Each structure stands twice: as structure tokens, then as C-alpha cells.
Amino acid sequence: MNVFKFGGASVKDAAGVQNLAGIVQDQGKGTVIVVSAMGKMTNALEELVRAYVSQKPAETEEHLLAIRAYHEQIIHELTGNFDRVYQTLDNLSNYLKKAPASTYDEVYDQIVSLGEIMSTQIVAAYLAELGVPTHWADARQLIATDTTFREGQVDWEETNRRISHAVPKNAVTVTQGFIGQTPDGRTTTLGREGSDYTAAIFAYCLNAKSVTIWKDVPGVLNADPKWFDETVLLEKITYQDAIELAYYGATVIHPKTIKPLQNKGIPLYVRSFIKPEAPGTVIGNYEQHLLIPSFIFKINQVLISLHPTDFSFIAEDNLSRIFGRFAQAGVKINLMQNTAISFSVVVDNNPDRVPDLLELLKQDFRVSYNQGLELITIRYYDQSTIDRVLVNKRLLLEQKSRYTVQLVVKDLG
């Protein structure tokens, strides 16, 4: 049994859905297909949430209409029974008529999760129309999480129990990435880009033979082609290297994806949905680590520096307070460095979270911050690779370990 994951880019329009069907039709029954929201729908739904929670009816309506039109356009170009998609759109419209009744993050999950619900309803209806025996599985009833909205933590035992009974052998199962449910039935999401992780959860629970994530790139490259002109396809990668690359921000794979697969020795293929016959990249149990340097760029970073307001050093008590504040604000640390009397942290400049974090930190520390920075990570670096990425950049902070260097820079261009 194999698990396939199709991200938003692969199903951004009707041609994408048809292409997916072409790839899936060659597969045996029993295959599980995990699908993300279509195109940039998650971003569009996020904007809808912002308008709705801040009670701007005209803006809310405008976003809703755009979301409806986008899905209707795709449906119009396909054949199949899409009643369930219209039902979901109507449910969303009704939900928005009432005033927001819970926290921002909880409302976010109830709304944003519908992107995945609609994409899978479209894909399942289209596959069924082509005569593929199709089973639409509701991932909310399979992936059990806690109540950490927008970053649901998976209850593996319960999820395993549910998934192992939920996948028929005589059909292709179509399910949603990115979403789950709390014990009392409220929808959660697993964190942005979390559909790869869903594929790994299904594969783990079903002891799958392999997972394939279908992307708009030939496989895992040694740098994001959006930033680098000359990239090299990495044909084979160890789980360890893949975890490190994803952890440092190579967005081609969600960082939580690898560990469950590594634990069961399930290979992860990253292949091109544009050129499905090409072998792509395989991640597995190999001896040899990568032989060429890999580059990871993260833009829109903010460097936050903290200084105690009294005469204390940055020692255990201050550190535990600092980490507590980051956890409270739900902000992940990309890099940290301390001296005796200061502590510097680099994080993604998320407008939903960073302003609250700064307020929390100001309660205990003198805080300064520097926005609009880039974080460059090079795995298997040497001096020439560092020199290459520093052209036209001002270096603010550098951190080296045996295999990895991280550079916080300001673009001077």
C-alpha cells in the first residue's frame, strides 16, 4: 500500500486535477491520496478569517465570493457530481453569518480546514466520475489531536487505532492533509504546510510501502530554485539530512514528516507532478550523507535582542522565562545566541504572533529588534559557499556547527 500526497500547487486548477487523476489511475486500489487545499486557497481562507473576526462584513463577503468563484471555476471545467462542494460552501456562508464565538485560533481552524475539505470533495467526485473506485475519508475523524488550535498535536495511539480500520482495500482513499479533530469534535489544523505530515501519519499507521509527495520541482534540490539559478537534484538523501534540511526551512518537505517514516523505515519519494515519469528524490536509510552543499533561505526574519533590566546575567532563570514567553506566544525560534548579558533570537516575522510576543518580552526585558532580515543556512558548508551567499549582504550574526552554518543578514541590494 502506498501513500500519495498532492499539494496545493498540483491541484491549483482543473488541469491539475486531471493530471492528478492520470497519476492515480495507474495505481492499485488501496492507495491513499492526501490532498491539500487548491492553489493558494489556505492564504485566501486566512484572509477571510481576518475579515470575519474583525467583523468587517463587506470584506468578509468579498473574500467569500472569491473563494466560491475559484472553486466553481474548477468544477465547471470538470465532470462529476459536486453537490458536496456546494454544500460545504453553503455551510461556510452560514457559519459566517453568526458572530465569532470562540478564540481566533479556533475560528481559524474551523474555517481554514474547509480548503482541504473542498479540494478532496472535488478530487473524489472527479475520480469517481472516471470510474475509479473512490472512498472519501474525513481526516477530522481519523487524526486525533489535542486542543492546540493551528498547531494540533497528534494523539498517535488514538490516530493509529482509527486509521488502521479506515482504509478499504478495494478503493482509492482520498483524504485531507493538514486537518484533525479534538476529542470533543472541534476541527484543528496541524500547522501551515502540514499536509506532508498527514501523509506520513497515514503511512506510519498503515505500515505503507512508501510515501510519494508530488511537487512542482523535479525532487529535492540543493537549493530552492526560486532563489538560486543553478540547482542540483539530490537523488538520494538520508533521513538525517532530510530532517536537517526541512528543519532549517527547506520548504519542499514539512519538518515533521520525516521522523514517523524513519521510525518504520518507510521511503519518502519527492517527485514532479509535471514530469511524473522522472524518478525524483528518494529519502531513506542510506550510509552516505550529502556530498554537496545545500542552501536554505528564509526571508522576512526578525532579530530580537533581549537585555535584562537589572544586573542579572542571561542564565537559567532568565532563559526559562524567555522560553516560556515564546511558548506562550506560539512563536518558533529559528536561531538563538547568547552572551553574558544579552540573548538574541531570530524568528519568522508573523504579524499574528510577533507583536504579542514583543509585548510579553517587554514585561521582563529591554527589547530591541531588527526587521526585514534574511536567514541563510548552508549544510555542508565551506568558506567559498559562505562568501558566495554574502555578496551584497551585511552579516549581523553567524553560527557554525560541524556541518551547518547559519547567517543572519541584511540585503544591501
Ligand X SMILES: Nc1ncnc2c1ncn2[C@@H]1O[C@H](COP(=O)(O)OP(=O)(O)O)[C@@H](O)[C@H]1O
Is 62 annotated as a binding-site member?
Answer: no
Q: Does 9 bind ligand X (CB under 6 A)?
A: yes
Is 42 annotated as a binding-site member?
Answer: yes
Query: What track of x and - describes contact with ligand PHD for positions 106 through 135 (by CB under 6 A)?
Result: ---------x--------------------
User: Among 35-43, 140-148, 227-235, 314-322, which window interacts with ligand PHD (CB under 6 A)?
Assistant: 35-43
- Per CB under 6 A, contacts with ligand X among 159-198 are 193
Is 313 annotated as a binding-site member?
Answer: no
Binding at 166: pick from ligand X, ligand PHD, none (beta carbon under 5-8 Å per type): none
Q: How far apart are CA 308 and CA 363, in angstroms?
A: 11
211 near 2, Cβ under 8 Å?
A: yes
Please state, in angstroms and as integers, the Cα–Cα distance from residue 6 to each residue in 14, 121, 270, following that order.
Answer: 14, 14, 11
Binding at 84: pick from ligand X, ligand PHD, none (beta carbon under 5-8 Å per type): none
Is 8 annotated as a binding-site member?
Answer: yes
Q: Does 17 bind ligand X (CB under 6 A)?
A: no
Q: How far apart are CA 393 and CA 1, in angstroms?
A: 48
Q: How far apart are CA 386 and CA 173, in angstroms?
A: 46
**Binding test (CB under 6 A) with ligand PHD, winner from 16, 80, 152, 194:** 194
Burial class (CB in 10 A: 0-12, 13-18, 19+), 153: middle
Q: Does 220 bind ligand X (CB under 6 A)?
A: yes
User: Among 90-98, 129-137, 193-201, 352-360, which window interacts with ligand PHD (CB under 6 A)?
Assistant: 193-201
74 near 119, Cβ under 8 Å?
A: no
- Per CB under 6 A, contacts with ligand PHD among 37-56 are 37, 42
Q: How far apart are CA 340 and CA 352, in angstroms?
A: 31
Q: How far apart are CA 84 and CA 92, in angstroms?
A: 12
Q: How far apart are CA 399 and CA 374, in angstroms?
A: 14
Complex with ligand X: residue 223 or 283, whichever CB lies closer:
223
Q: How far apart are CA 188 and CA 307, in angstroms?
A: 36
Complex with ligand X: residue 36 or 121, whichever CB lies closer:
36
The position carrying cell 497515514 is: 202
Angle, vertex CA 121, rays to CA 115 and CA 123, nearest 5: 100
Q: Does 36 bind ligand PHD (CB under 6 A)?
A: yes
User: Among 87-95, 117-125, 223-231, 399-407, which window interacts with ligand X (CB under 6 A)?
Assistant: 223-231
- Smallest gap from Cβ 193 to ligand X, in A, equals 6
Q: Is 228 left (phi over 0), alpha (psi -120 to 50) or beta?
A: beta
Complex with ligand X: residue 165 or 226, whichever CB lies closer:
226
- Per CB under 6 A, contacts with ligand X among 25-64 are 36
- 146: CB partners within 8 A, 6+ apart: 152, 153, 155, 182, 188
Distance of CA 24 to the CA centre of its chain: 23
Angle, vertex CA 292, rays to CA 290 and CA 295, nearest 5: 100
- Per CB under 6 A, contacts with ligand X among 242-301 are 250-252
Q: How far apart are CA 312 and CA 318, in angstroms?
A: 8
Complex with ligand PHD: residue 214 or 381, whichever CB lies closer:
214
Number of residues that bind ligand X (CB under 6 A): 18
Binding at 250: pick from ligand X, ligand PHD, none (beta carbon under 5-8 Å per type): ligand X
Q: Is 398 helix (H, G, I), strand (E, B) or coil?
A: strand
Q: Does 188 bind ligand PHD (CB under 6 A)?
A: no
Interacting residues with ligand PHD (CB under 6 A)? 7-8, 36-37, 42, 115, 177-178, 192-195
Interacting residues with ligand X (CB under 6 A)? 7-10, 36, 193, 215-217, 220-221, 223-226, 250-252
